[in-house]
Structure 1
Amino acid sequence: MNQLTTSIISQFVAEAAFLWVLRSRLVDAPHFSLQDLAQLDERLEAHLDGLRVAGEAGWGICRDALDGQYAETFFPAAVLAFESGDKDRIQVVIESLNNDPACAKALISALGWLTYEQAAPLIEKLLTDQSAYLRYIGIAACAIHRHDPGQHLNKAACHVYPLLIARALQAYGELGRSCELDNYNLPNLLADSDNGIRFAAAWSASIAGIPAAVETLKSFAATEAPYSVKALNTALRQMEQTAAITWQKQLADSPATIRLATIGAGVIGDTILVPWLIEQMKTPQLARIAGEAFTLITGIDNELDEMKGAQLEGFTAGPNDDAKDDNVALDADENLPWPNAGLIAAWWDNNKGNYPSGTRYLLGKTVTVDHLRQVLKTGLQRQRSAAALELAILQPGRPLFDVRARGCRQLAAGGSA
């Protein structure tokens, strides 16, 4: 192999790893659509295809990259190893994991990238492996493909390894089996000392509308924590409208949870909260997320000229070039437009009669199965995620539509459930 060839192959590996990281962020981005996702996936697949064409040389450079223990390098290596079916290659990838959660995420993603038919032989082995960690990967891979692992899921939920239990409990919700959780002593799961187990049980059971689970989810949304936004999104959708608005107001009363209250207003979807949202658009740290919530309710795009605003004075977000500035947190709302509160207030005064309060709206229309399916086809990723969750709640027993799946597969399915 000459140096040029080595360089090109190394670039394929680096680009595939980079695009996988980028994809991991953009699948939850507020400005990204299904078409955008499909195009990004085509770019990623092109680099993987370059590695396939390179044959043993491509695999060799992927294998060597694993030594750096960078999670992103596991994705191209795992894709090549798994789709080849080569036992030695697969063993190299599995042994390089070292129980690293970030590397496991890349490996699970690689299993999801393959068709289920390609991934099935390895998934079956993972589901019966002696290692609970590898069984966790197997359950996660099944959940990504929305393939029901049957009794393997039941056994995982009764295991003693917290990570495996939590992933199994989450899979019940993803696979449309939430109603079965009552068979696993749900009260004990909702009181478990492990946050991952308690949250997964509450989230999945909440999809089935179990009141105790919804109350547990509310406790996770008490602060800005790893589970808070997901808990908020599910709990509010299962609460009676008046109770949901009352809780939203309680969250709004505390500086620690006012951002969650702003997000929650969009989830509730009642236009009675629109004036409050417009007020939040005047606060630099809340303006853009309030604009997104306004769009989620009304369907009006804040990027339209008659709605667009400029960055508010007093807003700061790190990191920047100032070495003395300790603020290194990324701008959570960098991909959201700045709304013009004055223009939006004027528009609302002229149009609020078209949006009677007391009704739940999503992107300007009442929440119905047909509308939700349309949002899955045409909405942005966060909007599509909201629609998928609404559908799962409206259609008990059906799997949660995966808006993070490969774009080509979603398009082949018409973009919706």
Structure 2
Amino acid sequence: MESILLDVFEEHLDEAAFLWTQWEQALEAPDFNLEETATVEARLRAQLDGLVVGAAAVAEALLKPSLESEDPSTLFAAAFALLDGSERMQPSDVLALLVPRASKLRAPIQRALELNEREELTETLQPLLKESAPEILALTLEVLAFHHATPKDVAVDMLLQHEEERLLVATLRCLQPLPRHLLRGHLPRLLADPRPAVREAAMEAGLISGARVAWERCLDMAGRHAAPSRQQLLLLGLSGERLGTERLLTLLEVEELRADVLWALGFSGQSAAAEACLGWLEHQELAPLAGEAFSAITGLTLQDAYVLEKREESAQEPLPLEEEDLDADLTPRPEEALPIPHPEAVGAWWRENRGNFTPGQRYLRGRSFSMETLLGELRQGPMRRRHAHALELALRSQGACRLQTRAFTRRQGTELARLRNTAQRLSVRPLSGILGGG
């Protein structure tokens, strides 16, 4: 291939790698919605498509050599173009991509598999479920779960007894909702597992399966002297339960949990939670989180008079090279894009409007919580919060309404349109009111 032509495809690869990073950040951003994310995505897809049209010549000259890269974004772009452009992927092709990699370099290839939209993908992955290596088996189950695909011809009963943590978690996420015999045979043990990730996955799987014991375990783990995870706290907020909100308000006193509790309170929709957030609007680190939660409940848009100007970070002397953490993740955190609320202005707004909020009633963006308001947030709300809203949709439908909020936006739009009618018929009662007795 002429060098000048190869230069064009190298530019496509570099741009795709850069834009993939930007798009992944947009999926977690508090200042992007689905439409804005789709704009970034369109640029990414154009670069990826440019690599695919190069066919076999570009695959041999550029993409396959790029699989040796240790840069995750380059590895993603090369793997995606290869997987998307091949005539038909074989299980051996996928294994050849995965097996030689160190664990951290399998992640971008896994992402390429998750974002692949070829219809035969899930069938191609099924033979990998016979692999003996737990890490490959877990990765395969995670990709299948991403595509809402159920594993075939695999002894899931044995998988739920496996000792490997990631494999257990992947199995629980892939089998939602759990069949009744698996609920009875395995859920109590997994809810009591000493590993937080396993307990968390079991709790989520149990709730999606309608098992009351999972909700009781969630409440127990959020006791005053427990150490609940961020996800367990979120489940309390999503539940719509008065008791769940009360537990969160109590845990707000625990300093190391405070940021995660504020996040969860924003999904509770309770006026008491909004009032509690006001107390943290002057805290230097927590004010943006408290403002985000307050806004999510009340609908107050934090802009203009309701925000403070962000202070510029003062220049610091660079650390000596030997003191630098060269492995530190310098990717901006989503919270850094949140506005800083003006405490006095927000407080004055609340004093004027608090009478519009009935104690015990659940609100979302200032409106009474309903499936319509929930779907509205999934269509137009901040990307950062949509993952939790999609989880609530899965909980309330017991797995019937699934939205993959980390997929390409075209797939998300298709899924939203497909589940709309079913979702609107779901109950908005507190979660305990729709759980069974298991």
Aligned to 1:285: 285
Per-residue CA deviations over 1:77-131 (Å, capped at 9, x if unaligned) read 3323333125575454133324x1x333322221222225141342122223343
Mapped partners of 1:70, 1:227: distance in 2? 35
Mapped partners of 1:220, 1:54: distance in 2? 54
How many Å apart are 1:219 and its aligned residue?
A: 7.6
Mapped partners of 2:63, 2:356: distance in 1? 57
How many Å apart are 1:192 and its aligned residue?
A: 2.3
- Please state if 1:108 is matched with 2:107: no
Mapped partners of 2:204, 2:150: distance in 1? 18
Mapped partners of 1:386, 1:332: distance in 2? 15
Q: In the alignment, is the contact (CA less than 8 A) between 2:240 and 2:362 conserved in 1?
A: no
Mapped partners of 1:29, 1:122: distance in 2? 33
Q: In the alignment, is the contact (CA less than 8 A) between 2:362 and 2:369 conserved in 1?
A: yes
Aligned to 2:426: none
Per-residue CA deviations over 1:351-392 (Å, capped at 9, x if unaligned) read 112111211112222222222122211111133223222222
Q: Aligned letter for 2:101?
A: L
Q: In the alignment, is the contact (CA less than 8 A) between 1:209 and 1:238 conserved in 2?
A: no
> What is the percentage of aligned positions where both structures have the same residue?
25
Alignment of 1:11-410 (within 5 A): 11-60=11-60, 61-83=62-84, 84=86, 85=88, 87=90, 90=94, 92-98=96-102, 100=103, 102-150=104-152, 152=154, 154-155=156-157, 156-173=159-176, 176-177=177-178, 181-208=182-209, 210-214=211-215, 216-217=217-218, 228-238=229-239, 240-241=241-242, 243-303=243-303, 305-311=304-310, 321-324=316-319, 333-410=335-412
The CA RMSD measured in Å over matched residues stands at 3.1
Partner SS, residue 253 of structure 1: coil
Partner SS, residue 203 of structure 1: helix
How many Å apart are 1:168 and its aligned residue?
A: 1.0
Per-residue CA deviations over 1:303-329 (Å, capped at 9, x if unaligned) read 2x23222237xx969xx6531498977
Tell me the number of residue pairs that the alignment of Structure 1 and Structure 2 aligns.
405
Structure 2 unaligned residues grouped into runs of 5+: 420-438
Change (3 A) 1:179 1:406: farther
Mapped partners of 1:308, 1:258: distance in 2? 22
Mapped partners of 1:416, 1:346: distance in 2? 42
Change (3 A) 1:299 1:386: farther
Q: Aligned letter for 1:171?
A: C
